[in-house]
Structure 1
């Protein structure tokens, strides 16, 4: 049984159909990536999995249970966390307060304390800046904070929406290294990325979206070697 299964998902914005009968699955322990140009429907799919949008048709199953009718808090409680495109950290709040927001649904205080320790070990810069206004962090530091905040909810499945957007090459390398390490420690990951080469290089499997439709799928290495993918995304 797949950890996450999306079946024939269609999502509309008003009269505009943003996603058209998309199907894919993620197995436990995988990194699966969705790649495609702006407007391909990638972020719409993530928001629908997270409960922020409701599908026009189709179904989403998580650990065998249909979740497309559930609220966003219910989905977070079930073990799915999203790092939104653009990071969306809370300005005017400290780094620590942002992390506390990620633990909002957690009830076990000892477990929350342990998670803070884990986050600060993984992201030492956040520990150093824990009393600083989150808005004053660099773009890369804000991305680490957004990831740390999502991890405070102890997700089994982490949805990453354009984590490299707007970052310097150095921070891009660091973020992808962290993604790989999180996966190796047991977190299953759905990665949404315009940086197709980077995403496919660490993904177990990938799906190529265009105008709301899955056009290609395969292992990360198969898609990296695909002439059509090379032509469209790598300029080859």
Structure 2
């Protein structure tokens, strides 16, 4: 098991955003968290990646409690996040954005290899290498954000709404890329507004509502669940 979240409680000021959440991820899985806006999904991802500190509970990564660790240490340990809204660095080229993802790697040969792998996976980024990242399309920026995260050699990648705001033609491509990343050995925790797409590629999923896990099961079982269909799949 690569990640366990135990009795996680996270507050934003006086707001109790996450109310005792439990879930786990096995190495090599794609696991989805689905739920309405405000369910606590992004808060959970930010807490796992060290951007927020929980009020209580444990986050155990590769057998070690990490809930008090700072974000750079967690990146070094193998956890990378692709944030909602992409947050690429405008004014920097595609190449420079990717270099930012490798800022903790000291081995220049490894960085070179990572560039080669990212460009192989995202050929459009190679074509646009010298271009200002702000001039890319939404889909290309999402690929850049994913490529930047992969530059850090993650064992676990946290994806927050990767298809948000993308044209339909890019959405299928992004989900194919997620499957490909997973097939090459990276475990994936996915938050996605397109619950049908997310569950269709997930080994397992958890349904969150108002800061709590309400349902869990395999991706297939949750897709077939009448409650999930009614609330999230337009069924």
| TM-score relative to the length of structure 1 | 0.99
In the other structure, the counterpart of 1:224 is 223
In the other structure, the counterpart of 1:76 is 75
Gaps of 5+ in 2: none
Give SS of 2:141's match.
helix
In the other structure, the counterpart of 1:144 is 143
In the other structure, the counterpart of 1:111 is 110
Gaps of 5+ in 1: none
Which aligned segments of 4 or more residues in structure 1 are displaced greater than 2 angstroms?
none
In the other structure, the counterpart of 1:180 is 179
Q: Partners of 1:176 and 1:234 in 2: how far apart?
A: 17
- Give the RMSD, CA atoms, in angstroms: 0.4
| TM-score relative to the length of structure 2 | 0.99
Query: CA offset at residue 235 of structure 1?
Result: 1.8
The reply to whether residue 212 of structure 1 matches residue 177 of structure 2 is: no
Cα offsets for 1:13-61 (capped at 9, x unmatched): 0000000000000000000000011101000000000000000010000
Alignment of 1:184-203 (within 5 A): 184-203=183-202
Q: Partners of 2:73 and 2:54 in 1: how far apart?
A: 17
Alignment of 1:115-126 (within 5 A): 115-126=114-125
Q: Partners of 1:184 and 1:79 in 2: how far apart?
A: 17
Q: Partners of 2:191 and 2:107 in 1: how far apart?
A: 31
Give SS of 2:52's match.
coil
